[in-house]
Chains A and B, each alone.
Chain A
Amino acid sequence: MIDQAMQSVLGWWQLLPGGWRLLLWNTGKILLVMIPLMLAVAYYTLAERKVIGFMQVRLGPNRVGYHGLLQPFADAIKLMFKEVILPTNADRFLFLSAPVLVLGPSLAAWVVIPFDEGLSIANIDAGLLYILAVSSVTVYGVILAGWASNSKYAFLGAMRSAAQMVAYEIAMGFALVGVLMISGSLNLGHIVHSQNGGILHWHLLPLLPLFFVYMISGIAETNRAPFDVVEGESEIVAGFHVEYSGITFAMFFLAEYANMILISALIAIMFLGGWLSPLQGIVPDSVFAIPVIGLLLGHGIHWLIFKTAFFMFNYLWFRATFPRYRYDQIMRLGWKVFLPITIVWLVIEGLAAYFKLPPWFN
């Protein structure tokens, strides 16, 4: 019976034209990434409330499900069934397409993320540039949301975010140039490979300033605390998405968290060796050959998840710790501190590359 079913499915598969098979295959791969990602986003929101609750000596949500574990689903269902309110005189088309423009790029960027050796949806050569380009499109959604809402607060938030995102994108881009210089490739898989050979070979040490610049710029780029003037609730209510409700608001929400996870994953891939095990070179190679322990200690996707989780936790930690930056301070930090740091470090890196400084440049 099952055999027959398998046979008929396989037969169907063979019958499909090549293009369709490719399409289905890719859709499958995308779903394989998207579903865990969406789950991660859902539980990230819960984790945020729990972690901040813990830091503020509160319990956090604990009513829905065991210790509040079903809270994300309750939130999702609530948001889905709420009415989407269109403000009067809003630009209807742009108002509704803005959330899509925010969520789309933040999901599209996952296409090139390598989860493990050869495990990515698309292995493209200019992956790093692709990520930069795609994430730079996000800002449109934010600006359009602010503008199309026909509301002063929303517009102020949009203007703030446009300036902030453009400013920090430059610092981020330069930090990535540093990564590019040391790895000699724009392909994210190659970037991870160039860090092979133990914890010392990771880009963290040679690019330490760039690592910090990238990490902090990443927080500014996602408009998270302490750089959340874009939605600073004490000043402009909720900033660019103040007029959004229901599912449209949920999409902004999803995009923000998906972006946070994306940035964390990128930091892990570019500076901390992605799926590479930190134990490489510390424990003897024979350990990696032991059946189960070897699998756990050796390279693998779990290391990437672990590293990503660390930076995701950082986001929450920072939010609970730092007071909000003032707008001019944000601009000063981006243009006058980060940009010079990255440029100076690129020069230093160039010198190191010229003199073939081991173990990174040889």
Chain B
Amino acid sequence: MSFVQVIFYLFAVMMLVAALRVITVRNPVHAALFLVLTFICTSVLWLMLEAEFLAIVLVLVYVGAVMVLFLFVVMLLNINIESLREGFVQYVPVGILIALALFVQMIIIVGPNHFGLQDSVLTIGPNYFAQKNFAYPAPAAAEYSNTEMLGRAIFTDYLYPFEIAAVILLVAIIAAISLALRKRTDTKRQNPAQQIQVRKQDRLRIVKMEAEE
């Protein structure tokens, strides 16, 4: 096993274990932290695929922003996980049955031999599968920049989906604000513009007093 493979298996196993812990651990804060660990391991795996932009952005956006707010909410709400687990046992057999069925189905139906990953099945789709076997990806050239390639793809070939995604984010903002913003009238609000325009004579009154004997 080469050094790269050791790293790969280390982080892949860590990712799987962390992902499993997300749903099995009892404390919601710990669950959120395991999710963070999962993201970080994923990011390492992406780095190994030379997708450094995506890897770093995953950490930046999901770990650095989304999960922080998530953790924030989880801590503030102080969710009682035990009450959420009521009736859990009762659904376990059904859940296991469905999971098992899906698992077997996937192994049979979407196993690698259906995707041309094994030599036994050949594909002759017009031009889509020049190779029947996916080779180990060749390392990119030294001047290859993942960031630049992504930028080019997003702003040319995928401009339309990119713009729609931007609109979806806008809708999400509008939705969040219109659902959550409550204009409270009972708060003591301050107007900074007014505050800095205060002059000495507005606040200060000089009273001349007779000196006491």
Q: Is B145 an interface residue (CB 8 A)?
A: yes
Interface 9-residue window, one of A8-16, A135-143, A249-257: A135-143
Binds A, one of B58-66, B101-109, B121-129: B58-66
Does B53 sit at the interface, judged by CB under 8 A? yes
- Determine how close the nearest CB of chain B comes to the CB of A205; give it in whole angstroms: 26
User: Within the complex, which residue of A124, A158, A329 is in contact with B192, where a contact is CB–CB below 8 Å?
Assistant: A329
Using Cβ atoms and an 8 Å threshold, which residues of chain A touch B146?
Answer: 125-126
With a cutoff of 8 Å between Cβ atoms, the chain B residues found around residue A124 in the complex are 52
Instruction: Judge if B118 is at the interface, Cβ distance under 8 Å.
Output: no
Q: Does A243 contact B (CB under 8 A)?
A: no
A147 touches B63 (CB 8 A): no
Binds A, one of B69-77, B154-162, B165-173, B176-184: B69-77
Report the minimal beta-carbon distance from B213 to chain A, rounded to whole angstroms.
Answer: 39
Rounded to whole angstroms, the CA-CA distance of A175 and B205 in the bound complex is 45
Contact A133 B56 (CB under 8 A): yes
- B67's closest neighbor in chain A, by CB? A140
Q: Write out the residue numbers on chain B whose beta carbons fall within 8 Å of the beta carbon of A19.
A: 3
Q: Which residue of B lies closest to A336 (CB)?
A: B192
Decide yes or no whether B31 CB sits under 8 A from chain A: no
- Contact A130:B56 (CB < 8 A) given known A162-B72, A166-B69: yes
Contact B56 A125 (CB under 8 A): no
A13 to chain B, nearest CB (A): 19
The 8 Å CB contact of A133, one of B36, B64, B75, is B64
Contact check, A137 vs B192: say whether CB atoms are below 8 A apart.
Answer: no
B64 contacts across to A, CB distance below 8 A = 132-133, 136-137, 139, 169
Task: Judge whether B147 and A186 touch: CB under 8 Å.
Answer: yes
- Flag B75-88 by CB within 8 Å of A: 1 or 0 each: 11000000000000
Instruction: Verify A143–B52 contact, CB threshold 8 A.
Output: no
B71 surroundings in chain A (CB, below 8 A): 140, 143, 162
Contact with B along A105-146 (1 / 0, CB 8 A): 000000000000000000011100110111011011001100
Minimal beta-carbon separation of A315 from chain B (angstroms):
23
Given contacts A143-B72, A147-B29, A166-B68, contact A133 B59 (CB under 8 A): yes
**Docked pose: A58 CA to B3 CA in angstroms:** 58
Find out whether the CB atom of A136 lies under 8 angstroms from the CB atom of B65: yes
- B17, CB-defined interface residue at 8 Å: no
> 1/0 contact trace for B11-42 toward A, CB 8 Å?
00000000000000000010001001000000
> In the assembly, what is the distance between CA of A132 and CA of B52, in Å?
14
Q: Which residues of B contact A133 (CB under 8 A)?
A: 56-57, 59-60, 63-64
User: Is there an interface contact between A143 and B36, defined as CB atoms closer than 8 Å?
Assistant: no
Question: Across the interface, which residues of B come within 8 angstroms of A137, CB to CB?
Answer: 59, 63-64
User: In the complex, what residues of A have CB within 8 A of residue B57's CB?
Assistant: 129, 133
- Main secondary structure on B side of the interface with A: helix
Chain B residues with Cβ below 8 Å from A155 are: 75
Say yes or no: A132 contacts B29, CB within 8 Å: no
B60 touches A125 (CB 8 A): no
Q: Tell me if A84 is interfacial: C-beta within 8 Å of chain B.
A: no
Cβ-based interface call for A152 (8 A): no
Are A126 and B60 in contact, with the CB atoms below 8 A?
no
Interface pair B65/A129, CB less than 8 Å apart: no
A132 to B65, CA, bound (A): 11
Question: Which A residues lie within 8 Å of B192 (CB)?
Answer: 329, 332
A131 to B145, CA, bound (A): 18
In the complex, A96 Cα to B68 Cα: how many Å? 19
| Chain A residues, Cβ within 8 Å of B56 | 126, 129-130, 132-133
Which one of B3, B36, B60 has the highest number of Cβ atoms from chain A below 10 Å of its Cβ? B60
Q: Are B29's CB and A166's CB within 8 A?
A: no
A159: chain B residues within 8 A (beta carbon)? 72, 75-76
The residue that A143 contacts in the complex, of B59, B68, B147, B190, with Cβ under 8 A, is B68
User: Given A136-B65, A162-B68, A125–B145 Cβ distance below 8 Å?
Assistant: yes
Whether B52 pairs with A125 at a CB distance below 8 angstroms is yes
Give the residue name and chain of the A residue nearest to B75 (CB).
A147
Closest beta carbon of chain A to B173's beta carbon, Å: 13
- Chain A, residue nearest B27 (CB): A91
B53 contact set on A, CB distance < 8 A: 126, 129
Contact across chains for B59 and A136 when beta carbons are under 8 A apart: yes
- Chain A residue numbers with a CB within 8 Å of B33 are 94, 140, 144
In whole angstroms, what is the CA distance A139 to B60 when docked? 12
How far apart are the CA atoms of A136 and B66 in the complex, in Å? 11
Could you list some 12 contacts between A and B, CB below 8 A? A125-B147, A132-B60, A133-B57, A133-B63, A134-B59, A137-B64, A143-B75, A159-B76, A162-B69, A162-B71, A162-B72, A186-B147
Binding site for A on B (CB under 8 A): 3, 29, 33, 36, 52-53, 56-57, 59-60, 63-65, 68-69, 71-72, 75-76, 145-147, 190, 192
The 8 closest A-B pairs by CB, nearest first: A136-B64, A133-B59, A133-B60, A129-B56, A133-B56, A162-B72, A126-B52, A147-B75
Additional pairs, 12, CB under 8 Å, beyond known A140-B68, A166-B65? A19-B3, A125-B52, A126-B56, A129-B57, A132-B56, A143-B71, A155-B75, A159-B72, A162-B68, A162-B71, A165-B68, A169-B64
